[in-house]
Amino acid sequence: MEQLRKEIENLREENAKLRSQLSESKVNNESLSLTEYQRYGRQMIVEESGGLRGQLELKSTRIVVVGAGGLGCPSLQYLVGAGVGHIGIVDNDTVEASNLHRQTLHDTSRVGTLKCESAKQKLNLLNPFVDIKTYPVRLTSENAFEIFDGYNYVLDCTDSPATRYLVNDVAVSLGITVISASGVGTEGQLCILNFKNQGPCYRCFYPTPPPPNSVSSCSEGGVIGPCIGLVGVMMAIETLKLIYGVYTIENFKPFLMSYSGFPQQSLRVFKMRGKQTTCKCCGSDPKITKETIESGEINYTEFCGQRNYNVCSADERITVKQYHSEYIESLEKDHILIDVRPSHHYDISHFQHSINIPLKELKNMHGSLDKLKERIPQLQENTNLVVLCRFGNDSQLATRIFKDEFKIKSVKDVKGGFFKYIDNINQDIPKY
């Protein structure tokens, strides 16, 4: 008994010593504790890391990561593992089960919790010597300056053009170098922006935003976990190189890396244009400044635009409840259900009684009834068509095409689509 008490006492003392070492070490950027020498030994003996000097550089560096998703998770993991001293994580999303195949810091038990907190919890276990601050907010024109101020680097791991322009503009204004990457499907891209305030920025590469209907997100276009993961890991490598001082004003050449996972994995490095003197953000006569951003004069949502799906009138739409009670259950209304999702979506899960005509195929028929009848042989002038897609957006566009181009009279769009039907009516249908 006495011995146990003594052991506990010893452990307590040791624990307190480690704790004080840890908190001391977190504020001390000028030296490493003995445990840190051990922890970082394997990377410090790589000559390119700059040894002790490089490790101290990492320790004193402050990095803010915007987005703790498919790119953010792998890059955070390696940067924290490497001993970057101070990390900020900006994300107001919560973990969903459909994130877990690629967002490797989160796990099943964290579903429903904040991504930034979930990431912090895992990262604290990985390396308690790193100081991690979370920002459970959406990055906006109002809060971005306050959040970014004081950080040395920004990692853009976001998922929409509007946020990408915002991250860029604020970083340029504060003189911060950005490591920017993106990915969808089996591909990814990566570049370094505003390098030491001399390199090109996002607006130098993309002065005009893409039309909103050409932009695909991971939830929409899908994404292979390791493909985007690899790009996130590459972001960590570029960040370490920046901190180690591998890139200099003299040797830095603007580039864009392009990764393809399929059919054969390949990584291309494209040589890119330099800083554009005409750039509205980093050029010689910038219109985008702290003042114009914070005042809201630069309107990111307006600049990037939004897709307009609301092209059907109220009487052209029915709810999933109406569809279920009036069309399926009562068999009251004879109808043909057209599912306009891409066929690889349809193959995962669908209504047995539906016909799959993807929106793209429908558009390419250019209103030819003959072509449509090849796909719907039983189609008559008075046929009732009901149109369905995943979320109820594409089905509205398709409803317009059926009515305006094919001149079919009775066409109804199902509001909220297949997924809404699953949520509200029948949760036994697989939802992906």
The least distance separating another protein from the CB of residue 197, rounded to whole angstroms, comes to 21
Q: Is 278 in the site for another protein (CB under 8 A)?
A: no
Helices vs. strands in the chain: H and E counts, helices first:
18, 13
- How many angstroms separate the CA atoms of 157 and 134, rounded? 15
Chain-centroid distance of CA 18 in Å reads: 37
**Binding residue for another protein, selected from 54, 88, 188, 261, defined by CB under 8 A:** 188
**Binding residue for another protein, selected from 32, 58, 116, 218, defined by CB under 8 A:** 218
Question: In sequence order, what are the beta bridge partners of 182?
Answer: 189
Residue 115, annotated ligand binder? Answer: yes
- How many angstroms separate the CA atoms of 71 and 190, rounded? 11
Chain positions 360 to 419 lying near another protein, rule: CB under 8 A, are 363-364
**Binding residue for another protein, selected from 58, 82, 181, 388, defined by CB under 8 A:** 181
Chain-centroid distance of CA 354 in Å reads: 33
C-beta of residue 194 within 8 angstroms of C-beta of residue 178? yes
**Binding residue for another protein, selected from 74, 161, 358, 392, defined by CB under 8 A:** 161
User: Interface with another protein by CB under 8 A: which range of 1-9, 23-31, 269-277, 409-417?
Assistant: 269-277
- How many angstroms separate the CA atoms of 341 and 412, rounded? 16
Q: Of the two residues 249 and 267, which places its CB atom closer to another protein in the complex?
A: 267
- Is 218 annotated in the active site? yes
Q: Of the two residues 159 and 294, which places its CB atom closer to another protein in the complex?
A: 159
C-beta of residue 127 within 8 angstroms of C-beta of residue 43? no
**Binding residue for another protein, selected from 81, 128, 209, 286, defined by CB under 8 A:** 209
- Is 389 annotated in the active site? yes
User: Interface with another protein by CB under 8 A: which range of 31-39, 49-57, 267-275, 285-293?
Assistant: 267-275
Q: Is 210 in the site for another protein (CB under 8 A)?
A: yes
Amino acid identity of 168? N
C-beta of residue 416 within 8 angstroms of C-beta of residue 391? yes
Q: Which residues contact 416 (CB under 8 A, 6 or more apart)?
A: 319, 320, 391, 392, 424
Residue 344, annotated ligand binder? Answer: no
- DSSP code at position 402: I
Q: 11 — phi, psi (to 5°)? A: -65, -40
User: Interface with another protein by CB under 8 A: which range of 16-24, 50-58, 221-229, 331-339?
Assistant: 221-229
Annotated catalytic residues are: 218, 389
Q: Which residues are annotated as a binding site?
A: 70, 91, 98-102, 115, 159-160, 201, 204, 279, 282
Interface residues with another protein (CB under 8 A)?
67, 69-72, 156-161, 164, 181-185, 187-189, 205-211, 214-218, 221, 223, 228, 256, 258, 260, 268-273, 363-364
